[in-house]
Amino acid sequence: MKKNWVRLNLFYIGQSTKKHQIFRAKQWNNNLERIFKQPIFNEKYEKIGYVKDIFGPIKLPFVSIKTLLNQTFSPNNKFFTKLT
């Protein structure tokens, strides 16, 4: 199966009590639902975490990202993932 890189258009909300990073999608289509439990990469294509949950309104949902312990997190980075 071919994997395509997709840039996620997200707005940073804050950190949850479980230390997940919470974002709001600025643009969304139903095709992006496939990012659930997929790894998230930064601009250098280094793995920084994975999508833990997608919740909220259908048109512009919230996305919860669980970051890896050894990665520095900056909410201003551009985030990418692969669609399978």
pLDDT of residue 72: 81
The reply to whether 84 falls in a domain is no
The reply to whether 76 falls in a domain is no
| Cβ contacts of 6-13, under 8 Å, gap ≥ 24 | 6/32, 6/35, 6/80, 6/81, 6/82, 6/83, 7/78, 7/79, 7/80, 8/32, 8/35, 8/40, 8/63, 8/79, 8/80, 8/81, 10/63, 10/79, 12/75, 12/76, 13/62
CATH code of residue 41: 2.40.10.230
- Give per-residue pLDDT as tens, 69-83: 888 888 889 999 988
Number of domains in the chain: 1
With a cut of 70, which residues of the chain have pLDDT below it? 1-3
The reply to whether 33 falls in a domain is yes
